[in-house]
Amino acid sequence: MPILVVATGNPGKVQEMQAYLTDPELAAWQLQLKPAELDIEETGTTFLENAALKASQVAQALGEWAIADDSGLAVDALNGAPGLYSARYASTTEARIQRLLAEMQGQSNRQAHFICAIAVARPDGTIALQTEGICDGEILEEPRGSGGFGYDPVFYVPAHQMTFAEMPASLKHDISHRGLAFQALVPQLKALLAST
**Contact residues for 101 (Cβ-Cβ < 8 A; gap 6+):** 139, 141, 142, 154
Coil, helix or strand at residue 83: helix
Determine contact, residues 137/156, Cβ cutoff 8 Å. yes
| pLDDT in the model for residue 129 | 96
CATH domain 3-195 topology: Maf protein (3.90.950)
β-bridge partners, 111: 138
**Contact residues for 159 (Cβ-Cβ < 8 A; gap 6+):** 175
Query: What's the predicted TM-score (pTM) here?
Result: 0.93
1 has a pLDDT exceeding 80: no
Q: Which of 39, 70, 136, 174 is catalytic?
A: 70
Dump pLDDT digits (tens) for 151-193: 999 999 999 999 999 999 999 999 999 999 999 999 999 888 7
Quote the mean pLDDT of the chain: 93
Dump pLDDT digits (tens) for 87-128: 999 999 999 999 999 999 999 999 999 999 999 999 999 999
Q: Where are the domains of the chain?
A: 3-195
Q: Which residues of 62-85 are buried (b: 16+ CB within 10 A; e: fewer)?
A: bebbbbbbbbbbbbebbeebbbbe
**Catalytic annotation present for 70:** yes
Q: Cα 169–140–96 angle (5° rounding)?
A: 80
Tell me the average pLDDT across 16-36.
87
- pLDDT-wise least confident of 11-15, 30-34, 132-136, 139-143: 11-15
* Strand ranges, E, within 140-173: 155-157, 162-163
Q: What amino acid is encoded at 31 in this protein?
A: L
User: d(Cα 33, Cα 171) in Å, to the nearest integer?
Assistant: 26
Count of other CB atoms within 10 angstroms of residue 138: 16
41 has a pLDDT exceeding 80: yes
